[in-house]
Structure 1
Amino acid sequence: SGTVLLIAFILKVAGSLPPNFILGIFIFGIVIGAYLPAKSGLLMLINAGEIDMNVLMTIAVIGAIAIGEVEEGAMVVFLFSLGNTLQAFTLDKTRKSIVSLMELTPEQALVRRDNHEFTLPVDQIKVGDLVIIKPGERIPMDGRIVRGTSSVDQSSITGESIPVDKHPGDEVFAGTINQRGAMEIQVAKTAKDNTISRLIAMVEEAQSQRARSQQLVDRFAKYYTPVVIGLAVLVAVVPPVAFNQPLVKWAYQSLAMLLVACPCALVISTPVSIVSAIGNAARNGVLFKGGVYLEEMADLTVMAFDKTGTLTQGQPEVTDVLVYSDLKAEELLAVTAAIESRSEHPLGTATIQHAKRNKIDIPVVSGFDSFTGKGATGTVNDELYFVGSPRYIEEHLPVAPEVIDDLQRLQTEGKTVILLADKKEVKGIIAVADTIRPSIIQTLQDLRRVGIKRVIMLTGDNALTAKAIARQLNIDETKADLLPEDKVESVKSLLRTGKVAMIGDGVNDAPALATATVGIAMGAAGTDTALETADVALMADNLSALPYAIRLSKKTIAIIRENIALSIIIKALIMALVIPGMLTMWLAVIGDMGASLLVTLNGLRLLRVKQNP
């Protein structure tokens, strides 16, 4: 239509053709440009009973032709079409984050079945199939490594920029990149059920949900349009009837007002911001389950954390090795690990792993005997040893005062102690603790900088251990020895002081997560339950993205407010031109489409918010 209208304007300036012929070209250009918007508006009016911008534009253009302003009507159609095209182009950028996620997974993969290798489309690969992945290739399916080691770039799923070392038995995700070694994985999920497919589906669903501010704007728009249409009718009728003004002039002003009657910019001011923010968050390993949770994050003042596996690693590690005899520390670890290798206690596992990491040879044990909840005995290098709790060792021999002092100090620090003794004396102490996550102190400091006033720890662990961890992390308040229902009650009491986020693994903490203003689960990439139960899911197994999520939510709220203010101010300024009779139809269209483009471009700024500012 733009080309036809340009030809009509050129022919009019040239003046070489009859006016009626040029008029016909203008009308032809109007019909071409207005057909689809008019059809869309009519369907909206019939099916939903709503008057949108397409209907108002169609009425205005028909009215312009009726009062002889054909060129003005043609300009309105052209500007309207141009504005819609530009708006669609900019809005497409908000969807690129999801499109980029969709393009991550390969369409086919090399599969081994019955000792034969062949390439299959991913939708034909079954659970249990062996998939061969070469260096540099994207992993096509979720699964576990059965052969080979490598490092894998998981940034597309978790947002972590540092590649993760992977070994046999480790989990890998579709869409991530195998970097340096060849691997074979056993498929754990079909293509439609893998982590990235679920992530895409949840992000699309979240983007389609209406945020709280969007609901308010929609309610306002419901009354705004009819009111402005009523004012447009008054503008057309009152001046000519009451003040003997020219009918054509005020009919024209009325038609221009119709073009201002649709609050397009106001209506899209919120969704374009929400869609941009949720898309950006997904690329950085944070899944918001809806715009309402994105908005709620901006108002959080209290954060409650589960301890085990959230603030801490969730795996006991050896922290101290104290020796009281002629044994060396390596020998103490070797003997203890030898006896613990026959038990299934997690503290024993920590000792064995520590010995292996330090390349300590673990000797053979004989005559092993276990006493549940206490300890064990075993013979190593022809010497009988006792391994276990202080109470268990005290049943067999007296414990020296210096050993008791160290025991009390270590227990005060929240550590669990294992004693090794022979028939005569305590040989040494091995202290084991669930260590804090490496980056958690920095993360908590960053949370305070973005507006979190109180940090609370809720744990089922004992008070001594909880207080020791709290001291290390400078946590404001600690509640220990809590059952799941106790955590729910604690969250309810915190809610009386402000908006509260509960952060946990999404499984054991599900009731508390559901009770909080916003429930946040971490490590969701490998946990289906976490994806389902949480309001916000951190795909990586760490909390470093949490301050980013809050900054993004605060930025989103700020941009939504800017957009609403921009759209209202621009509309008000345009409508003010009606009073002196200076409003033109093309100016009304430029104002309306310009405002829509401005709020869209402003919302797109959220795509550039980075995890590490």
Structure 2
Amino acid sequence: MTTAAANTRPPRADSAHGHGLLGPRAEMVAAIASGVTYTGGMVSKYLLDTPGWLPASLFAATYLLGGFFTVRSAIDTVRRGRFEVDFLMLAAAAGAAAVGKWAEGSVLLFLFSLGHALEEYAMSRAQRSIAALGELTPRTALVRRGSDVEEIDIDELRIGDTVVVLPNSRLSADGVVVAGVSAVDESSVTGESMPVDKQPVADRQQALSGRGAVTEAHRVFAGTLNGSGALDVVVTARAEDSTLARVIAMVRDADTQKSPTQRFIDRFQLWYVPAVIAGVLAVIGVGMVAGSEPFAESFYRGMVVLVAASPCALAIATPSAVLAAVARAAQAGVLAKGGGPLESLGRVTSIAFDKTGTLTWGQPRVTDLVPVRESLRDRLITTVVAVESFSDHPLAAAITRDLAQQAPAGTENTATQVNSVTGRGVTALVDGRAVEIGNTTMFTELDSDGIPDDIAATVEHLHSLGRTTMIVRDGGVYLGVLGVMDTPRAEAAPVIAQLRALGIHDMVVLSGDNQRVADAVADGLGLDAAHGGLLPQDKVAMIGQLNARGGTAMVGDGVNDAPAMVNASVGIAMGAGGSAVALETADVALMTDDIGRLPFAVALSRATAAIIRQNLTVALLIVAALVPATLLGLPIGPAVFIHEGSTLLVVGNALRLLRFRRGQEHAGIAHENRPA
């Protein structure tokens, strides 16, 4: 069997130069036609009383039809100085003809060409699953020009154009929503099983310049399906640079990163094929020297051995599995850059996680509200909301968001003279009373008597839980303490449990935050260790220590964690949809920020490794059994059937990965309790 899908081979001649009038079905048609002529030859020779020229002509036609595409491919490889499987099959068929075994040579070429045609058909299933994505993007777009809307080709779209997306239609470009509300089905790009609600971005110009906050509620992708609402979308990437286009291109080029197994097979074939040719010559030579059988029989036996020893199934075992797995991963919103990262991910025993935005939401939340006594709770809430709603402190927005809804109705206060004290907190006047909200340093400096013991104990307790704390005092009266923290994602703990079930025994968090915060996250999620206060170079050093114990994956955002990701066995970027940097940095990219896809990626990679092992075992066992059998007299017909059958068995086994499921992991874990 030829190895067109193997990474070492160029496109077959029929692919490189066109298929002719019949298009991509030409090889299949030729293979079927060769089967018809072979059958006709056998019937006319053994069942009918026909002139001798008729079966001879039919067998010759079988040679022509069955060998046409194989000859073209073999010529290409020989020109490159390589002798591969195509050459071995042609040599065997030519040898059979040379000793008058036209029928045997015909069945070899018929089955070989049919097997290759079926193999390419099977392999194209994986390729079509990716190519089909390219059909999702409309060829035209409705663009708003002033008060008019005109239809143009998507190749004419420019960054900054405003595209009108009608209800229940596919989006033609990547961009941000500037008008309209709708739910968009993004499964074709991100693998997200549920439609994502979209709303306009607050400031169009800031969003386009990169200064404004653009979340998944604002960002849309080409090829996704709009729901029932109309949207106006400002284009942020040209058609050839869209997220969908990049994903398709990267999956098509995935074989540029060969797996270690495939590199070994490539090296193995460099000496194996010449060794087979030498072995065949030895079989023929021994028969001639010994004089125990006529030359024709020795030559025929050598040709049968040639068929049996050809490494067809071995050559296709790894690339067929890798292609199917890469295609399946892309369908689920996981982009694996070829066999190397895919196989490496299946072998990792340790995973290091960045904290912020990976295990946590990346947004602070008020986790604790501890009044000095319960009767002061409402006053504590209203005072904090009044001050923080006018503050520009980084935590002010989170505090206002989480506490405003808890404030008692009709008790709104107004803050004036709000002043931020760098490194300390904020001061203000509320209804003429002096209010201070800040850390222990602020109150140690303000209060000569020191912080009350109960307040200090609360602060210490919250610090031990990894909280950032703020003490609140109103008119000289201590009201209580706030605890703020970037909370873990709802799906993070189940993900850790699933990874442990998959055999990942060492999981750690690497964070630039202080050690207490890192410890709190690790303890809450069941991680094995936490390392806080790390600079980028410190993370690289930690990855080095983990690598010394076995394969390590680093999960981060693909940008800030790039050095650690590069030094890990596998770098995994989260939220890569719409991010060219993340796609280029990582070995594996989760197209959304749903960490729930990580167990699926690990499980798929391990299933791929298992399929590859199965395929290699079958391929080697078939060769090991067939070669001795042919030396003992197995004729060419059964040898060809077994040989070609093993190749199709290997391909069929690999294609099972296209239907890979592991529990509910293919859909990710639902987002819950996400900060607004």
> Under TM normalisation by the shorter chain, which class is it?
over 0.9
- The alpha-carbon distance between structure 1 residues 557 and 380, as it changes in their structure 2 partners (threshold 3 A), is same
* Secondary structure class of the residue paired with 1:577: helix
1:394: how far off?
Answer: 4.4
- Listed one character per residue, the Cα deviations across residues 80-125 of structure 1 (whole Å, up to 9, x for unaligned) are 2211111111111121231132223222222212221122222111
Mapping of 1:298-337 within 5 angstroms? 298-324=346-372, 329=377, 331-337=379-385
Aligned amino acid, residue 610 of structure 1 = R
* Secondary structure class of the residue paired with 1:106: coil
- The alpha-carbon distance between structure 1 residues 250 and 50, as it changes in their structure 2 partners (threshold 3 A), is same
- Listed one character per residue, the Cα deviations across residues 540-594 of structure 1 (whole Å, up to 9, x for unaligned) are 2022111222211211111111111111111222211223223x22223222221
C-alpha distance in 2, partners of 1:324/1:149? Answer: 44
Contact 1:142-1:187 within 8 A present in 2 as well: yes
* Secondary structure class of the residue paired with 1:303: strand
* Secondary structure class of the residue paired with 2:64: helix
328-337 vs 30-39, which deviates more?
328-337
- Listed one character per residue, the Cα deviations across residues 268-304 of structure 1 (whole Å, up to 9, x for unaligned) are 1111111111111111122122311111112211111
* Secondary structure class of the residue paired with 2:630: coil
Match of 2:197 in 1: 165
1:440: how far off?
Answer: 0.5
C-alpha distance in 2, partners of 1:598/1:548? Answer: 26
- The alpha-carbon distance between structure 1 residues 423 and 357, as it changes in their structure 2 partners (threshold 3 A), is closer
1:16: how far off?
Answer: 4.6
Contact 1:135-1:180 within 8 A present in 2 as well: yes
Aligned amino acid, residue 132 of structure 1 = V
C-alpha distance in 1, partners of 2:607/2:190? Answer: 22
474-483 vs 389-398, which deviates more?
389-398
C-alpha distance in 1, partners of 2:284/2:513? Answer: 75
* Secondary structure class of the residue paired with 1:525: coil
Is 1:128 equivalent to 2:160 in the alignment? Answer: yes
Is 1:275 equivalent to 2:323 in the alignment? Answer: yes
- The alpha-carbon distance between structure 1 residues 50 and 360, as it changes in their structure 2 partners (threshold 3 A), is farther
Q: Tell me which of 577, 592, 597 is aligned to 1:540.
A: 592
Mapping of 1:565-580 within 5 angstroms? 565-580=617-632
Aligned amino acid, residue 271 of structure 2 = Y
1:181: how far off?
Answer: 2.4
Is 1:156 equivalent to 2:188 in the alignment? Answer: yes
1:265: how far off?
Answer: 0.9
In the alignment of these two chains, the number of paired residues is 611
C-alpha distance in 1, partners of 2:190/2:344? Answer: 22
Q: Tell me which of 79, 86, 89 is aligned to 1:57.
A: 89
291-300 vs 201-210, which deviates more?
201-210
C-alpha distance in 2, partners of 1:84/1:263? Answer: 14
Is 1:518 equivalent to 2:550 in the alignment? Answer: no
**Structure 1 unaligned regions, length at least 5:** none
Q: Tell me which of 111, 131, 139 is aligned to 1:79.
A: 111
475-484 vs 491-500, which deviates more?
491-500
1:412: how far off?
Answer: 1.6
- Listed one character per residue, the Cα deviations across residues 382-438 of structure 1 (whole Å, up to 9, x for unaligned) are 444222223324444564332222222222211112233222202233221110010
Match of 1:104 in 2: 136
Q: Tell me which of 61, 65, 72 is aligned to 1:28.
A: 61
- The alpha-carbon distance between structure 1 residues 82 and 387, as it changes in their structure 2 partners (threshold 3 A), is same
Q: Tell me which of 403, 411, 422 is aligned to 1:372.
A: 422
**Structure 2 unaligned regions, length at least 5:** 1-33, 202-217, 665-676
Q: Tell me which of 383, 395, 398 is aligned to 1:350.
A: 398
- The alpha-carbon distance between structure 1 residues 343 and 528, as it changes in their structure 2 partners (threshold 3 A), is farther
Contact 2:391-2:419 within 8 A present in 1 as well: no
Contact 2:508-2:522 within 8 A present in 1 as well: no
- Listed one character per residue, the Cα deviations across residues 36-92 of structure 1 (whole Å, up to 9, x for unaligned) are 3123212321x2122223222222222222222222222222212211111111111
Mapping of 1:157-306 within 5 angstroms? 157-169=189-201, 170-306=218-354
Aligned amino acid, residue 640 of structure 2 = V
Q: Tell me which of 106, 124, 136 is aligned to 1:92.
A: 124
Contact 2:392-2:420 within 8 A present in 1 as well: no
Q: Tell me which of 483, 489, 492 is aligned to 2:544.
A: 492
C-alpha distance in 1, partners of 2:151/2:427? Answer: 55
C-alpha distance in 1, partners of 2:572/2:405? Answer: 34
1:357: how far off?
Answer: 5.3
* Secondary structure class of the residue paired with 2:197: strand
Please give the TM-score of this superposition, normalised by the length of structure 2.
0.86
1:360: how far off?
Answer: 7.3
Q: Tell me which of 467, 471, 475 is aligned to 1:419.
A: 471
Contact 2:376-2:479 within 8 A present in 1 as well: no
C-alpha distance in 1, partners of 2:266/2:540? Answer: 35
Contact 2:177-2:233 within 8 A present in 1 as well: yes
Is 1:530 equivalent to 2:562 in the alignment? Answer: no
C-alpha distance in 1, partners of 2:403/2:164? Answer: 34
Aligned amino acid, residue 495 of structure 2 = T
Match of 1:507 in 2: 559
Contact 1:571-1:591 within 8 A present in 2 as well: no
C-alpha distance in 1, partners of 2:624/2:171? Answer: 54
Note the aligned Cα RMSD (angstroms).
2.2
243-252 vs 82-91, which deviates more?
243-252
Match of 2:650 in 1: 599
Aligned amino acid, residue 501 of structure 1 = A
- Listed one character per residue, the Cα deviations across residues 312-345 of structure 1 (whole Å, up to 9, x for unaligned) are 1110011122334787645533432332233322
Match of 2:6 in 1: none
Mapping of 1:414-493 within 5 angstroms? 414-493=466-545
Contact 1:145-1:172 within 8 A present in 2 as well: yes
1:349: how far off?
Answer: 1.1
C-alpha distance in 1, partners of 2:551/2:471? Answer: 46
C-alpha distance in 1, partners of 2:460/2:117? Answer: 73
C-alpha distance in 2, partners of 1:308/1:209? Answer: 30
Mapping of 1:580-599 within 5 angstroms? 580-582=632-634, 584-599=635-650
563-572 vs 239-248, which deviates more?
239-248
Identity %: 38
Please give the TM-score of this superposition, normalised by the length of structure 1.
0.94
